[in-house]
Chains A and B, each alone.
Chain A
């Protein structure tokens, strides 16, 4: 039943995280320095709202957990980037917070970790593996598709 339902979803495997997930497959187990980056994601203080790239943004999970991360990190997601830069002032831009009624806390946390990991290592100068627990792989994949990450 697993496979049949995933087939019905037409994913376009294009974004880096999805590609990483696809590479790792279900067996994804990794250890690395990625964890350090995730630590900073937990900071819930500091609330500045400046230009496009500076400041922080609050991401709220389905269960109501709030993650305050740097805008710079949020911009790793194209969806968030568009959301935060779109003209005309949508509610999210004004309030500096985004609710994700369809993303669970655990996944959102992982996503935030990924943002920082990507910010840090995407340049390719240093490398470290990003740990993905197999049991969240599919959910993470769908979130990645949604966020265009």
Chain B
């Protein structure tokens, strides 16, 4: 068809092609001239007079007649020549016009290139692939790269101009971003390698030195918070820059430059900065600054661990200071409240500023665990805090509030290594609450037990639960007792007995004091009743744990109801028969242990407003030479007067020693049981493995001391549960 236009032939003859070629030896040269002229016209914006069809047909015919190479080479040299012309005009552009000119010429070239490609499409389709030449479009880009971008008079100037513009923008000037966008896009169009080698690499280098200098300047004159603000702004600026006029692939590279220069290089200095570093931010709850530090530092390697380490060491230090401050130890409730506040504060920081980062939570937890256990009174104090809350602190609080407080306490509890010590104290405090009826809310008490149970298992709370059961059965027993024996008892004092199962309660063996005869009579009746219904039991009176309500009449016949302890009652009853008694008399008559007696007298005679007894000589403390008188002049606005015992809420030093000793005593069987359990399954094991296994097993309750474990092993060997291996003395064998 392309051969020629003669009308249809029924039997095809295609010799027309050859004819024309033969007829016109100058055919190729002439056709090329047409095309060459057209290319020039296209570059001159003069294409409207050209016929696409004609040009296409010319190129088509050239290729068809094997002049493809001539066509291709002609194109290449024509385009090269045009580009050399263009480079001269770009080079001649003055100052700011340079980029504009470059961009304008690039646009022209692109358009021309597309037109040329269109008319030479047939060559692109057939000649180029078969002879392995570069397609027209790519050829045009390559020529542009070689003759414009890499032209020595343009190459350096282009880079300098771009970098200068970026620098000026960094310094606050407004630049033509659209133009920048076009130029960087041009570099990308020429191939990623051109963009990277001719622009990106030097850009990153210049940026690195810029930010290295700037960060140095900032860090000398800014505080930590301000520095971070500036760094954040710079980082955002760079990201914005990329999105506006750089290739998206540059974002990660330039941000990593800023991160390295502005953050990683100054990380430690920032965190430690005096008066404004991490510690100050934590102290002043600077959530915004902390959040900024977190997000910035997260971008660099080791950034978060730097913050975390610093926070951990700060927490440990302040925590250590807190738990060892003798002032704080004076008030256990305040002490625990302080810990809780500290925990709340940092929880909030981690939540608000550190995105609830698990690793930070862990750091916080481990810090608390570290310093809470530095003070071996922590278990006691935490129990006292609960005691305080359950006695009075929760009055009027809603159920959720109660749960909230208990949950927080449980959190501290989890940090404790000596959970068994806590249990010991909790038992004591719970017993006091139950026996004196001071518990505010039964639900709260039970909720606490449930929490302990879920945390530590049934074993941990079985005794505590036993105490609640005892309270309930006692109530039933008393009802039954009064139902059956009421006529027998007559008008005597009312008795309320709590029957405490041995073992469940923290009873200290204390000799019963001698009760006043009136009381003793009722007690004996109850004993008779109880032993009558339950055979084979033994009742021991715990006079140190009871309370009494007594009616007293004072000087001007005012009547008051006094709420006192059993001991106090015994003392007061003595004054029914005499007005004045010496300390020795009282001690002899009541047989109350002297420490308890002193405390009890102190609360009866030395507390203002509750001094139903008068003491001679007047002083704050009780001495063994004092004499006591019934205080006729006692007055009170209240009808019911509650006389508390002066009890130190927390334990005194000897009591503490005693409790500790009991704890140690209790641990022995637990350690032994653990050893036997382990040896039973392992049969043979060396010493160190036993120690580590035992520690692991008992971790939930306490941290056993290796020396004690060793002693227990020795004891078990003595009792022939274990034996040493005959060959290897370090090995133990289990003896079934």
Residues of A near any B CB (own CB < 8 A): 1-2, 5-6, 8-10, 12, 14, 62-63, 78-79, 82-83, 86-94, 98-104, 106-107, 135-136, 138-143, 145-146, 148
Contact = CB atoms under 8 A, between A and B. Distances in A.
Given A8-B17, A79-B56, A104 B115 contact: no
A143 B5 CA distance: 11
Interface string B5-21: 11110111111011000
Contacts of A6: 14
B4 A102 contact: yes
A94 B52 CA distance: 11
Contacts of B52: 82-83, 86, 90-93, 98
A107 B1 CA distance: 9
Contacts of B119: 86
B51 A92 contact: yes
Given A10-B64, A12-B126, A94 B48 contact: yes
Contacts of B4: 102
25 contacts: A5-B14, A10-B66, A14-B125, A78-B121, A83-B53, A83-B118, A86-B114, A87-B114, A87-B115, A88-B42, A88-B111, A90-B48, A90-B50, A90-B51, A93-B52, A99-B53, A101-B5, A101-B57, A102-B1, A102-B5, A102-B57, A104-B8, A135-B10, A143-B1, A145-B2
A89 B52 CA distance: 9
A12 B1 contact: no
B53 A100 contact: yes
Given A92-B53, A99-B53, A102-B1, 4 more contacts: A1-B15, A88-B114, A90-B51, A142-B3
Contacts of B115: 86-88, 90
A104 B5 CA distance: 6
A20 B47 CA distance: 36
B190 to A, nearest CB: 20
A136 B7 CA distance: 11
A104 B51 CA distance: 19
User: Which of A8, A88, A99 has most B Cβ within 10 Å?
Assistant: A88
Nearest to A11: B126
A138 B14 contact: yes
B60 interface: yes
Interface string B314-352: 000000000000000000000000000000000000000
Interface residues of B, number: 41
Contacts of B17: 5, 8-9
B51 A142 contact: no
A87 B570 CA distance: 116
Nearest to B129: A12
Contacts of A140: 1
A88 B114 CA distance: 9
A136 B8 contact: yes
A142 B114 contact: no
Contacts of A136: 8
Nearest to A138: B12
A5 B5 CA distance: 17
Interface of B: 1-8, 10-15, 17-18, 42, 45, 47-53, 56-57, 60, 64, 66, 111-112, 114-115, 118-119, 121-122, 125-126, 130
Nearest to A9: B64
B51 A12 contact: no
B343 to A, nearest CB: 69
B50 A91 contact: yes
Contacts of A87: 111, 114-115
B117 to A, nearest CB: 8
B18 A86 contact: no
Contacts of B121: 78-79, 82, 148
Contact of A103 (B1, B111, B130): B1
A107 B12 CA distance: 14
A62 to B, nearest CB: 4
Nearest to B12: A138
A143 to B, nearest CB: 4
A78 B119 CA distance: 11
Contacts of B13: 1-2, 5
Main secondary structure of the interface of A (DSSP, over half): helix
B51 A5 contact: no
Contacts of A145: 1-2
A2 B14 contact: yes
B41 to A, nearest CB: 10
A84 to B, nearest CB: 9
Contacts of A106: 8
A103 B125 CA distance: 21
Contacts of B3: 102, 142
Nearest to B50: A90
Contacts of B10: 135
Nearest to B5: A62
A76 B18 CA distance: 30
B47 A88 contact: yes
Contacts of B118: 82-83, 86
A89 B47 contact: yes
Nearest to B46: A88
B62 to A, nearest CB: 13
B48 A89 contact: yes
Contacts of A146: 1-2, 57, 60, 122
Nearest to B41: A88
User: Which of B2, B13, B121 has most A Cβ within 10 Å?
Assistant: B2
A139 B1 CA distance: 5
User: Which of A10, A82, A90, A138 has most B Cβ within 10 Å?
Assistant: A90
Contacts of B5: 62, 101-104
Sorted nearest first, the 10 A-B pairs with minimum C-beta distance are A142-B1, A62-B5, A90-B52, A143-B1, A86-B118, A82-B118, A5-B14, A88-B47, A83-B52, A138-B12
B8 A139 contact: yes
Contacts of A94: 48
Contacts of B114: 86-88
B2 A142 contact: yes
B345 to A, nearest CB: 67
Contacts of A86: 52, 114-115, 118-119
A146 B8 CA distance: 18
A112 B672 CA distance: 102
Nearest to A111: B1
Contacts of A1: 13, 15
Nearest to A137: B12
A38 to B, nearest CB: 18
Nearest to A26: B12
B393 to A, nearest CB: 80
A101 B51 CA distance: 12
B12 A83 contact: no
B104 to A, nearest CB: 15
A14 to B, nearest CB: 8
Contacts of A93: 52
Nearest to A92: B52
Given A5-B18, A135-B10, A83 B1 contact: no
A31 to B, nearest CB: 21
A135 B239 CA distance: 67
A145 B61 CA distance: 12
Contacts of A141: 1
Contacts of B112: 88
Given A9-B17, A139-B8, A91 B1 contact: no
A143 B47 CA distance: 26
Contacts of B111: 87-88
Contacts of A89: 47-48
A10 B65 CA distance: 9
Contact of A83 (B56, B60, B122): B56
A32 to B, nearest CB: 23
Nearest to A60: B53
